[in-house]
Amino acid sequence: MDNSISKKSALVALLGCPNAGKTSLFNALTGASQKIANYPGVTVERKIGQLKFASGHMARLVDLPGTYSLTPISLDEEVTNRAVRGQQDGLDKISAIIAVVDANNLDNHLPLILEAKSLGIPMIIALNMVDMAARDGLTLSPQALETALGIKVVETVAVRKRGLTDLTAALEICLNEPAENLPVAMLDDKERFAEAHRLAKLTILKQSASRLWTQTADRILLHPVGGIFILLGLLFIMFQAVYSWSEAPIGWIESGTEILAAFVANLLPAGFFSDLITQGVIAGVGSVIVFLPQILILFLFILLLESTGYMTRAAFLMDRFMASAGMSGHSFIPLLSSFACAIPGIMATRSIADDKQRLTTILVAPLMTCSARLPVYTVIIGAFIPKMTIGPNIGLQGFVLFCLYLAGIIAAMIASIFIRKTAAKGAEGTFLLEMPRYQMPRMRDILISLWQRGWVFLRRAGTIIMAATIILWLLLTFPKVDGASSDLQSQKSYAGQIASVIEPVVRPIGFNQEIALALIPAMAAREVAVSALATVNAIDAEDEEKQSADLGKTLAGKWSLATALAFLAWFVFAPQCISTIAVAKRETNGWKWPLFMLAYLFALAYLAAGITYWTAVAFGLG
Ligand SMILES: Nc1nc2c(ncn2[C@@H]2O[C@H](COP(=O)(O)OP(=O)(O)OP(=O)(O)O)[C@@H](O)[C@H]2O)c(=O)[nH]1
Ligand SMILES: [Mg+2]
């Protein structure tokens, strides 16, 4: 510790809103002569350093936590509030304040200055980040602000050490000949914001059109209440579009697979091979490929939101919400990626510095509705939820899909709260984010990304999903039951025998034999649940001549609504994806956390499906 810091020299405080540049200024002004301690009772760092004036005199400088107001809400704001009022234990009375203001953000930063002014402590203003202001096309008049406030204003660029000589000179004058403290009228919140706005207008001489535009857009899109509604509205439109735009292309793909199946059936001699291709490969894989249009529409929206610069704003909007669940805005992007797929999502958590927050984000990422769930949701919704509207342009099917996504999000938040209270206890993190500029998306880039996503999906369908479907088909076809109806065949087959072990476990939550059968191969990937059901039904329908290419129609004739809803609820939670477990193992360096993840997600899935089933039955939907 540096004991050379004199206890007697005047104490000067750096006061300002979060991210105004106080710490940067503190470092620039004090160099290496810092002394770091904690405020008593709070784990907020207290930094005191020594400041040398041109005259050779010294002062002590204290860096305070950022706050927007002297009416504290959080602990570190409390520290700042007590410090400037001279009520902080172990801290001398403050002789002067350097109020640090972000030049780009006058409207938001000036209210604190007005509040501080009423304390009656000698004060000067460091108008910081003027480099950014200039870059963004802002022309400012520090003189205008100085005259209007009656407080000396010095322009600074803390990170480039610009304006520091002027600042220390002004500070020394302020300490030696404090301006007369004219009594200041106490303003209430509303008056203070109005006055801050007036001062900002006086100070800003000119601003570029694009900055003005960005500011207006941000005022609307980042509004703490309105912004959230806009975000939810955008997501809602997205899910509606996933349905309404995909109808026609889905029809084309369906007729395409039907034609292909008929063509192959004609081409190949009837028998094992023909059955394998038509029932296993074409019915199975085709039932998954049908979802390509919906997946592309989903990605189109995500890509558009990303490329316009909106996504970062969404992260910002969500920060407070995420913090209330024990994560932070940093977790937002990984979780958002998990809507596409949990694997890139979990890998993106590497950018989260806090270990506990990172672990939590990994553990809840599989609850975000990945695109592999879309086929499962869509088949069931298409089959069981009536195609009706529940409001102007609001379809019930899109609404249900929206609710399923919402259920995943809410479950993730609740799980996160629990995990942060138990398995991953730790302090809250901080959050910093720079807003990108708004821009027109470049259609070419979007199309390329869409093509890549589509290709990844098709490759999955052609590899893992096809393999799982073929294996399942083989397990369903053997051992052959002679002369049995095809229904009996699937029950007596190897797959049927395995399913009959699982069935008693899932029967209490409303699942039937064919669901039990589909759940095992679906561990490979969730979509396989759909291709497995398609294959089972293709085999079962063999003799009956009424095999429908539309899996939904077939299921609607067999399952009760309660079972269908329970099946949906299951897939909101069930960790049915081996690759996700593998990535979680790699990213957490061991089996402990992936096993924990498997256990808690299966438990949730079982509970949710059971509750859904029995509630539906109670309402007479069984
Ligand atoms: N371009 C530019 N960046 C700055 C300037 N001053 C600070 N920054 C940057 O702004 C960010 C916030 O600066 P800090 O010094 O940590 O802000 P602070 O006021 O201490 O923030 P809190 O302690 O959270 O209240 C950092 O990334 C700094 O590098 C400046 O004058 N110009
Ligand atoms: Mg700081």
- Residues 73, 187 within the same domain: yes
Contact 156, 131 (CB under 8 A): no
- Condensed to tens digits (0 to 9), the pLDDT of residues 24-41 reads 899 999 986 666 655 655
Give the highest mean pLDDT range of 65-74, 319-328, 391-400: 391-400
- What the block records as the tokens of 385 is 């939820």
Is residue 55, in this structure, part of any structural domain at all? Answer: yes
Is residue 566, in this structure, part of any structural domain at all? Answer: yes
Cβ < 5 A residues, ion ligand 2: 22-23
- Residues 261, 134 within the same domain: no
Q: Please tell me if the CB atom of residue 281 comes closer than 6 angstroms to any atom of ligand 1.
A: no
Contact 319, 329 (CB under 8 A): yes
- Residues 247, 200 within the same domain: no
| Across 171-185, 391-405, 456-470, 577-591, least confident range | 171-185
- Condensed to tens digits (0 to 9), the pLDDT of residues 215-265 reads 889 889 989 899 989 988 988 888 778 778 888 898 898 889 889 988 988
What does residue 96 show for φ and ψ, rounded to 5 degrees?
A: -155, 160
- Residues 300, 180 within the same domain: no
Is residue 277, in this structure, part of any structural domain at all? Answer: yes
Which one of 207, 238, 268 terminates a domain? 207
CA-CA distances (angstroms) from residue 255 to 261, 262, 501? 10, 11, 37
Residue 16 has pLDDT above 70, yes or no: yes
Per-residue pLDDT, 4:
44
Q: CATH number for the domain including 41?
A: 3.40.50.300
Is residue 1, in this structure, part of any structural domain at all? Answer: no
In 422-547, which ranges are continuous DSSP H helix? 443-460, 466-477, 486-492, 494-506, 513-519, 528-540
Tell me the C-alpha distance between 16 and 116, whole Å. Answer: 10
- Across the chain, what does the average pLDDT equal? 85
Which ligand has its closest atom nearest to the C-alpha of 159? 1
Is residue 218, in this structure, part of any structural domain at all? Answer: no
- What the block records as the tokens of 328 is 């932070």
- Residues 184, 272 within the same domain: no
Residue 465 has pLDDT above 60, yes or no: yes
63 DSSP β-pair partners: 14, 47
- Residues 414, 526 within the same domain: yes
- Condensed to tens digits (0 to 9), the pLDDT of residues 67-113 reads 888 887 667 778 888 999 988 878 889 999 999 999 998 988 999 99
| Across 54-58, 74-78, 514-518, least confident range | 74-78
Angle among Cα 297, 301, 305 to the nearest 5 degrees reads 170
Q: Please tell me if the CB atom of residue 604 comes closer than 6 angstroms to any atom of ligand 1.
A: no
- Residues 23, 66 within the same domain: yes
- Residues 385, 494 within the same domain: yes
Q: Which atom of ligand 1 is nearest to the CA of 162?
A: 31
Is residue 430, in this structure, part of any structural domain at all? Answer: no
- What the block records as the tokens of 134 is 């200039």
Instruction: Report the separation in Å between the CA atom of 127 and the middle of ligand 1, taken as the mean of its atom positions.
Output: 12
Peptide bond into 594 cis (omega under 30): no
For the chain, how many structural domains are there in total?
2
Contact 497, 600 (CB under 8 A): no
Is residue 435, in this structure, part of any structural domain at all? Answer: no
- Residues 32, 90 within the same domain: yes
Residue 7 has pLDDT above 70, yes or no: no
Which one of 175, 207, 239 terminates a domain? 207
- Residues 268, 169 within the same domain: no
**Domain interval for residue 302:** 226-422+441-619
| Across 422-431, 453-462, 491-500, least confident range | 422-431
pTM for this one?
Answer: 0.64
- Residues 348, 267 within the same domain: yes
Q: Out of 22, 68, 80, 159, give the residue to mutate to test ligand 1, the one with the largest number of ligand atoms within 8 Å of its CB.
A: 159
Q: Please tell me if the CB atom of residue 112 comes closer than 6 angstroms to any atom of ligand 1.
A: no
Which H or E run contains 232? Answer: helix 226-244
Per-residue pLDDT, 34:
65
Q: Please tell me if the CB atom of residue 568 comes closer than 6 angstroms to any atom of ligand 1.
A: no
Q: Please tell me if the CB atom of residue 132 comes closer than 6 angstroms to any atom of ligand 1.
A: yes
Which one of 180, 207, 234 terminates a domain? 207
82 DSSP β-pair partners: none
Q: Please tell me if the CB atom of residue 45 comes closer than 6 angstroms to any atom of ligand 1.
A: no
Instruction: Report the separation in Å between the CA atom of 15 and the middle of ligand 2, taken as the mean of its atom positions.
Output: 10
- Residues 175, 252 within the same domain: no
Is residue 429, in this structure, part of any structural domain at all? Answer: no
Q: Please tell me if the CB atom of residue 20 comes closer than 6 angstroms to any atom of ligand 1.
A: yes
Q: Please tell me if the CB atom of residue 131 comes closer than 6 angstroms to any atom of ligand 1.
A: yes
